[in-house]
Each structure stands twice: as C-alpha cells, then as structure tokens.
Amino acid sequence: MPKKLILFDFDGVIIDSFKPAFDTHKIICPHSNEEDYRKAFEGNINDWEVPAEVHTKDCRLDIDFFAEYITRMKKETKIFPGTKEVINELEKKYILVVVSSTITSPIQEFLTAHDLINHFDWVMGNDVHQSKVEKMKMVFAKYDINSNDCVFITDTLGDMREAEKMSIGTIGITWGFHTLETLQKGNPFCLVDNPIALPRAISDFFEKH
C-alpha cells in the first residue's frame, strides 16, 4: 500500500521563529504590532497588505524581508523540543514534505544542520511558488495522490484556508503563530499542544479518511 504524505509547515511548526520574523517585520514597518502581524497569517502571507494605519512614510517596503530574516533565522531560531524525535518516527511510516512560505535553501540548511534533511522527501519554499494551493497541486501531481492521501500540519489559519481549497485535511498545532481560538476557525481535524501528540493525531486522521 502506498505511503501517505505528511505536509509540514516550517516556521512555527518545526522551528520557533515568530520573534525573529516579527523583529524583521518591525524593521520594515516600525509602527506595526504583534496583533497586526499575526493577522497577516490568516491568509496567504504573500497577499497581505500593511494596514493603512501603520502604512506611513516610516514603512520601508523597499527592504527585502528574506534578506533580513534569513540571517536572524539561522542565528536565533531553534527546533521545538520533541519535534526532531517525532519527525524521526513519522518518516518511518509516511512521506514527509515541507510546504513553506520561507525560501527553500535556508530551510534545507536548517534541516541539514539538525540531521533532518534526509527525512524529508521534498522541501517546497516560497521560491517554488508563493501559493501553497499551487504547491499542493504539485504534490498531487508528483506523488499521484489525492486529498485523502495527505494531511497538512500547520500553525496558521491561512494555511488551513489554503488546504481547504484543495480539500486537504489539517492538524493544527498550538505552539506556533496562531492561538487555539484562531486555529479553530479553520476547522482542523484536531488541535495538538505538544509534538509528541502528532503521531497519534495523524494515525487517527488517516483511519477516518
């Protein structure tokens, strides 16, 4: 029987990256706040527009977010405790794919540094496509699967909304960018509050699909 696929978001799911991401955003828009920034992930972050009230002459929209963020990500982020062990366990049973809005190469470098790169069959960053819907279509085509053959592990409502467009089920994790209350709006299969709960949640998902 073909293996099922687990789609992993990266920031907020595998690595604890909210602070360096927000700090980078503050370089671009000093008057923005955490609430504004978290709301940006209720849709596709690439489609987000800075709210009018913070879109002042102080906003430096000419600054490349990734040019600033990647350096911070490499220096300041850590893998969430327990995540490495869970990935090691899941890789034995499933095909793992990263679907992220961060560019591909630094994700690959991070996974390599943590001896995890060989556990992922494919890493799809923002340079592959800015739309996660389109990246999910690529996954369907490459692995010759449909929506019942995979589940998306994510920490944002925006990801859930993109997964819904492809009829892909989601499992929300509560240690990332969005709160439990925000994630519930995306109608996930379930929410988990610790990485060690993921294998059981994933198994339950596929038993019911």
Q: What is the pLDDT of residue 50?
A: 61
Q: What is the pLDDT of residue 51?
A: 58
Closest residue by Cα to residue 65 from 11, 102, 119: 102
* Domain parsing of the chain, residue ranges: 5-16+77-207, 18-75
Closest residue by Cα to residue 206 from 73, 38, 90: 90
Q: How would you class 138 by CB atoms within 10 Å of its CB: exposed for 0-12, middle for 13-18, buried for 19 or more?
A: middle
Diameter of the chain by CA atoms? 58
Q: What is the pLDDT of residue 1?
A: 56
**DSSP strand E in the chain: where?**
5-8, 95-99, 122-124, 150-154, 169-173, 190-192
Segment 73-120, tens digit of pLDDT: 999 999 999 999 999 999 999 999 999 999 999 999 999 999 999 999
What's the predicted TM-score (pTM) here?
0.92
* Cα–Cα distance, 204 to 209 (Å, whole number): 9
- For residue 173, the 8-state DSSP code is E
Q: What is the chain's pLDDT, residue by residue, as a tens digit (209 residues)?
A: 568 999 999 999 999 999 999 999 999 888 888 998 899 899 877 776 665 555 555 777 778 889 999 999 999 999 999 999 999 999 999 999 999 999 999 999 999 999 999 999 999 999 999 999 999 999 999 999 999 999 999 999 999 999 999 999 999 999 999 999 999 999 999 999 999 999 999 999 999 98
For residue 39, how many C-alpha atoms fall within 13 Å in the half-sphere facing its CB?
8
Assigned fold of 5-16+77-207: Rossmann fold (3.40.50)
Here the contacts of 165-170 (C-beta below 8 Å, separation 24 or greater) are: 165/133, 166/133, 166/136, 166/137, 166/140, 168/7, 168/136, 169/205, 169/209
Q: How would you class 144 by CB atoms within 10 Å of its CB: exposed for 0-12, middle for 13-18, buried for 19 or more?
A: exposed
- For residue 56, the 8-state DSSP code is S
